[in-house]
Amino acid sequence: MSSTDPKSSDAYRSGFVALCGRPNVGKSTLLNALIGDRVALATRFPQTTRERMLGIWSGEEFQAVLVDTPGIHRAKSALNKFMVGEAIKGARDVDLVLMLAEMPNIPDAEAAAQWEPGPGAKAALASLVETGRPIVLVLTKCDMVKDRDLVLPIIETWQRHHDFETVVPTSAVKGKGLDVLEREVLARLPAGPAYYDREQLSDKDMRWHASEIVRGTIFAKLRDELPYACAVVVERYKETEAGDRIHATVHVDKQSQKGMVIGKKASMIKDISSQARERIGRLTGRPCQLFLDVKVSPGWTEDPKQLERLGYADHEEDRG
């Protein structure tokens, strides 16, 4: 490596940065906005992210390995307990935690002065403080507030709850505040070489992304009818000259849900398949053939053995 290579230069900074917070606050959307590609599944439904995923954010002088985590919430089922466990583990060994909290939708200055974070947000903060890592508070969805003057009192209230490194108001969908966030993150990364190739965007392989894309497509089309009932397992993924051939199984909880996923004259499953195929193709840059099977796996979200079989297993990752 030559001395002009930024990877070997002393000025180069790198580290792990966790994105944590309550479900649906915009963690995955922010990760996608920072790295400039839709690698993490982000939907309007809470508890979309189920496992930790690394998004690799490389700039000219830094590489921040972003750890997308599931939302922190009071978990009941085995699946949800697994998800919250993933979130806390995601925050444990990082250089910096970004705690994301939604900018509250408040009408006026009086309401802003009286606003307090809810019990769920306070509990999420408490579990992050316990990790002992430095925490930057990121206020998300600031495009939703009409009056910018309402942001300051919210920042001040949050600061009474914890001595945050700093607080950054953002809007991932409008790209606002991301340059400030970049500076604040960069200032807190230790000097060091890149952990990953700078072209790489995530630590997961296409098999994993394909299953997430199919799950996301099902969420978008059927989520109101199919709450948390589906898991997608890619059985075979073959790359050929003509494109990728993917066989996947959609696992649902009940027989009636199988009917919904398949639809009348298989119209729903065909729709899901063609949309997912297109999105997978966009990510790989190659055409793709997708074959979906639907299987009933009763009670899978409650059964640790089935969870493991469907890919939700506790696998500790080494750093770097």
Q: Name the residues that contact ligand GTP, by CB under 6 A.
A: 23-29, 42-44, 46-49, 70-71, 140-141, 143-144, 171-173
Taking CA atoms, 16 is separated from 93, 96, 98, 133, 169, in Å, by 8, 7, 11, 11, 21
Length reported for the chain: 320
Q: Are strands 135-140 and 96-102 parallel, antiparallel or unpaired?
A: parallel
Residue sitting closest to Mg ion (CB) = 49
Beta bridge partners of 14: 63
Among 216, 229, 212, which Cα is nearest to 301's?
229
Q: How far is the CB of 240 from ligand GTP (least distance, A)?
A: 33
Tell me, residue by residue from 46 to 75, as one string, x for binding to Mg ion by CB under 5 A and - for no binding. Answer: --xx--------------------------
Q: How far is the CB of 187 from Mg ion (least distance, A)?
A: 26
DSSP annotation of 38 reads -
Q: How far is the CB of 35 from ligand GTP (least distance, A)?
A: 13
Q: How far is the CB of 189 from ligand GTP (least distance, A)?
A: 22
Which of ligand GTP, Mg ion, none is residue 75 near (CB under 5 to 8 Å by kind)? none
Is 28 one of the binding residues for Mg ion (CB under 5 A)? yes
Q: How far is the CB of 136 from ligand GTP (least distance, A)?
A: 16
Torsion (CA) 232, 46, 27, 301 in degrees, nearest 10 = -40
Which of ligand GTP, Mg ion, none is residue 249 near (CB under 5 to 8 Å by kind)? none
Question: DSSP 3-state assignment of 181?
Answer: helix
Binding segment for Mg ion (CB under 5 A), chosen from 26-34, 133-141, 164-172, 225-233, is 26-34
Which of ligand GTP, Mg ion, none is residue 144 near (CB under 5 to 8 Å by kind)? ligand GTP
d(CA 140, CA 22): 12
DSSP annotation of 247 reads E
d(CA 44, CA 211): 19
Question: What is the phi/psi pair of residue 64, to 5°?
Answer: -105, 120
Which of Mg ion, ligand GTP, none is residue 141 near (CB under 5 to 8 Å by kind)? ligand GTP
Taking CA atoms, 284 is separated from 56, 61, 205, 215, 278, in Å, by 17, 27, 11, 17, 10
Which pair of tokens denotes residue 99?
Answer: 């705690």
Which of ligand GTP, Mg ion, none is residue 301 near (CB under 5 to 8 Å by kind)? none
83/269 with CB nearer ligand GTP: 83
Question: DSSP 3-state assignment of 210?
Answer: helix
Q: How far is the CB of 287 from ligand GTP (least distance, A)?
A: 28
Q: How far is the CB of 241 from ligand GTP (least distance, A)?
A: 36
27/215 with CB nearer Mg ion: 27
Which of ligand GTP, Mg ion, none is residue 211 near (CB under 5 to 8 Å by kind)? none
User: Binding residues for Mg ion, per CB under 5 A?
Assistant: 27-28, 48-49
